[in-house]
Amino acid sequence: MLQSPRNHRNPACRRDRANSLHVVLNRWRMRNDFAPDLRRLALIAPAQIVSRRTLPVVRRLSRVRNGRTPVTTVTTPSGVEVRVFRPAHSSGRLPGLLWIHGGGYVMGSAAQDDRWARAMSERVGIEVVSVDYRLAPEHPYPAAIEDCLDALRWMIDQPDIDATRIAIGGNSAGGGLAAALAFRARDEGVELRLQLLTYPMLDDRTRKPDPRHRLWNASANVFGWSSYLGGADTGEAVPARRTDLAGLPPAWIGVGTLDLFSTEDRGYADRLRTAGVECQVDEVCGAFHGFDIVAPRTSIAQDFFARQCDAVRRALAHD
């Protein structure tokens, strides 16, 4: 039904239009803060894509799969599904990377990273194992990290993977899980070559708003962490709250300067170095959260992926 002219003169309608215009103008004024490759997308990308209200819809959308990427699926003896990528025409034992998908601990699946995993496998010449872990809030901590640990144990037992050359990694919440998994692996005596942390979600205390944040903002962060933690001991469950960093594997941390996680990631890197852990930080100027996922064909995203590959290649090379 068409609204009457009187509705258009309603004060609430005028305020809504004014607020919308204010947002558009602010985004236009801030456009030069973003990297040139990302400016157009930054004008239209939402600040937040998931909340308690939108979670069911976002989950349905994230289950859409790309069937064109060759993949082998395996279920571990404990019932965890992994997706395995091995270079074409390869033989013998290869180094391995356990990859953990993102999604704020509440959404996503391993299948969403099939293209990334296939490209990493082919370019570096390794076996990539991508794990489908249980999601919060239905399965709060420690369900996800237990699934990741199970996948790592499965990898170590595989005859076609060199157990002395294994790295772990993930993006966003997957990066947070990889960081948490590094503690578990260290405590079990498992030696890892690298933790590849791509804009990792490390600290539940991060909630400072910034109008330049895209896709994942302070509000989404509160929702994701509260869903994941439940009543867990944050001193154990949250990587940035851990105090026992000595003995962790070397780390590579990549994050955009306009990512909500920029400050926490750089702070974690500093603490790793203080604890004697080698850590390389790759800051992408003018990049927001998940920029390489939503704009994979841009030069800034492709260069970022190339540096990820270089980090993995160096870490998994023969001694």
**Residue-wise pLDDT tens digits, 6-27:** 455 566 555 555 455 556 667 8
Mean confidence (pLDDT) of the chain: 93
35-316 falls under which CATH superfamily?
A: Alpha/Beta hydrolase fold, catalytic domain (3.40.50.1820)
22 included as an active-site residue: no
Strands (E), 176-233: 194-198
Residue 12's pLDDT is: 56
| Set 37, 203, 289, 292: catalytic member | 289
Residue 145's pLDDT is: 99
**Beta-strand relationship, 161-171 and 72-75:** unpaired
Residue 110 reports pLDDT greater than 60 = yes
Share of the chain above pLDDT 90, in %: 86
139 included as an active-site residue: no
pLDDT tens track for 246-280: 999 999 999 999 999 999 999 999 999 999 999 99
CA R_g for the chain: 21
Output the CA torsion sign for 142, 143, 146, 151.
Answer: negative
pLDDT tens track for 144-187: 999 999 999 999 999 999 999 999 999 999 999 999 999 999 99
Residue 66's pLDDT is: 58
Give the bridge partners for 244, in sequence order.
Answer: none
Q: Is the peptide bond before 137 cis (omega within 30 degrees of 0)?
A: yes
33 included as an active-site residue: no
Q: The pTM is what?
A: 0.92
CA–CA dist 126, 56 (Å, integer): 35
Residue 15's pLDDT is: 55
Q: Within 10 A of 77 (CB to CB), how many other CB atoms are there?
A: 9
Residue 13's pLDDT is: 57
Residue-range domain boundaries for the chain: 1-33, 35-316
Residue 1's pLDDT is: 42
Residue 184's pLDDT is: 99
Give the bridge partners for 251, in sequence order.
Answer: 195, 279
Give the bridge partners for 97, in sequence order.
Answer: 128, 167
How large is the average pLDDT for residues 210-231?
A: 98
- Least Cα distance to 304 among 193, 159, 198 occurs for 198
Give the bridge partners for 96, in sequence order.
Answer: 127, 166
CA–CA dist 119, 302 (Å, integer): 11
Residue 164's pLDDT is: 98
120 or 26, greater pLDDT: 120
What element of type H or E holds 95? strand 94-100
pLDDT tens track for 23-78: 666 787 889 999 999 999 999 999 999 999 999 999 998 876 656 788 999 999 99
| Set 113, 147, 259, 292: catalytic member | 259
CA–CA dist 72, 88 (Å, integer): 12
Q: Where are the alpha helices (DSSP H) in the chain?
A: 5-8, 11-29, 39-44, 55-62, 114-124, 143-156, 173-187, 218-229, 234-237, 262-274, 291-294, 299-316
Residue 318's pLDDT is: 84
| Set 109, 121, 130, 172: catalytic member | 172
Q: Are 158 and 128 in contact (CB under 8 A)?
A: no
